[in-house]
Amino acid sequence: MVSTESLRKDAATVEVMAPVGSYESLQAAVQAGAGAVYFGVGALNMRSRSAANFTLDDLSRIADTAHRHGIRTYLTVNTIIYDHELNEMRTLVQAAKAAGITAIIASDLAVIAYARSIGVEVHISTQCNVSNIEALRFFAQYADVVVTARELSLRQVAEITAAIREQDIRGPKGELVQVEIFAHGALCMSVSGKCYLSLDHYNHSANRGACLQLCRREYLVKDLESDTELVVSDKYIMSPKDLCTIGILDKIVSAGVRVLKIEGRGRSADYVKVVTECYKEALQAIAEGTYTPERIAAWTERLRTVFNRGFWEGYYLGRTMGEWSGRYGSQATENKVYLGRVTNYYHRPQVAEMRIETAEALAEGDRFMVIGQTTGVYSDTVTGLRLDDGPVAQVRQGDLFSLRTSEPLHRGDKVYRVDTVTDEF
């Protein structure tokens, strides 16, 4: 049993790792206080199709931005690698080292061995399906951080972290190996992400970052004798709800986990900001002794405002069956509606000039959001709406208008109206 004092102390050391699929998301992670960010470059990562991946030329900018804010950087090189890609892989790992990237996340032994041979820190991906202390001991010769299999319970994770301490299992840096787990975001129906459904149907391998997410779709059941077809209703039986551990975060800290990974490199910057903020605040609350049911409920409602397929706590509490999404796509309680872009910003009066490009409107009192590479994510309520002729109650397509903001915005930033989703399902 972990003492209250130890729990508070441990919570203060847990790293929140945010997903970054764009410079907007990188800035959002900075704003939210992430301890680390992870991202992909090119095709050798598990989100090569679903995220807007960076290029080799982006590595230095990412590293400089993150390091300037005290944030660690992790490059995902976590697909399986074929012989013809070995040179590409080596070039990528070399570039990561030259740019000052903190570590790479990998599963293929060719990547792991090469990274270690040139002195690049390695973190073991969930694709390695580390489920016991002996597997972890093997990877400890290469890696300082290991992601345990997603299917483990917290009891099993705690047994592994206890064994690390008792057996003094250390990584290449000479420090005790740290355990990382997924804390929030999309879950795959397969064992630690090793799925072949997309490969079997369309020759796009999930293990090569090219999953087409067939599991998220609606299916028919067909009687082969009568040709009767039935829609599998109410549940998308291969599409799990999203993982959400905000309500069991104290148990996760008690289990000895030291890195919390937020899934979502293919999701928007506001998702990155909201989710990272919530988990940072929850860890701080544990450290301060203010982690209460009321605060957990408030964080959960905030998490529901951004993309999600419904929530469950995964297998961490010993569940043997998953919970399935009740419908296709996001169940977020808020929706962003694209309006246009920021055309100018006036610092002294703190006024932004914007133009509406779409067939939408924005009114005084509406909630709006601005997303940009330098701005990150800015959210506010419309006040001081003006056209050239003076104050107005509403603006529409084609209007060049201004409004007051409490923070600087930048030309080219995208502007959205934020609506509450009222549909009932």
* pLDDT, tens digit (0-9, with 9 covering 90-100), for 309-323: 889 898 899 876 666
Q: 176: helix, coil or strand? A: strand
CA distance 252 to 181: 9
Residue 207 has pLDDT above 60, yes or no: no
Give the Cβ contact number of residue 240 at 10 Å. Answer: 21
Task: Give the DSSP H/E element, type plus range, for residue 336.
Answer: strand 334-346
Q: What is the pLDDT of residues 263-312, one digit of tens each?
A: 999 899 999 999 999 999 999 999 999 999 999 999 999 999 999 988 98
End-to-end CA distance of the chain: 42
pLDDT band at 425 (very low <50, low <70, confident <90, very high): very low
Residue 51 has pLDDT above 60, yes or no: no
* Two structure tokens written together for 316: 């961490």
Q: What is the pLDDT of residue 357?
A: 97
| Single-letter residue type at 244 | C
Mean pLDDT of 223-247: 71
pLDDT above 70 covers what percent of the chain?
83
Residue 71 has pLDDT above 70, yes or no: yes
Report the relative pairing of strands 72-77 and 400-404 from DSSP bridges: unpaired
Q: What is the pLDDT of residue 216?
A: 59
Burial of 151 (0-12, 13-18, 19+ CB in 10 A): middle
Give the Cβ contact number of residue 84 at 10 Å. Answer: 7
Residue 388 has pLDDT above 90, yes or no: no
Instruction: Name the least confident of 27-41, 97-111, 209-223, 340-354.
Output: 209-223
Average pLDDT taken over every residue of the chain: 89
Burial of 320 (0-12, 13-18, 19+ CB in 10 A): exposed
Q: How far is CA 423 from CA 81, 216, 233, 335, in A?
A: 44, 20, 18, 11
The whole-angstrom distance between residue 300's C-alpha and the CA centroid of its chain comes to 16
Longest alpha-carbon distance in the chain: 75
pLDDT band at 331 (very low <50, low <70, confident <90, very high): confident
Q: How far is CA 153 from CA 171, 188, 279, in A?
A: 24, 16, 20
| Single-letter residue type at 385 | L
Which carries the bigger pLDDT value, residue 424 or residue 391? 391
Mean pLDDT of 43-57: 73
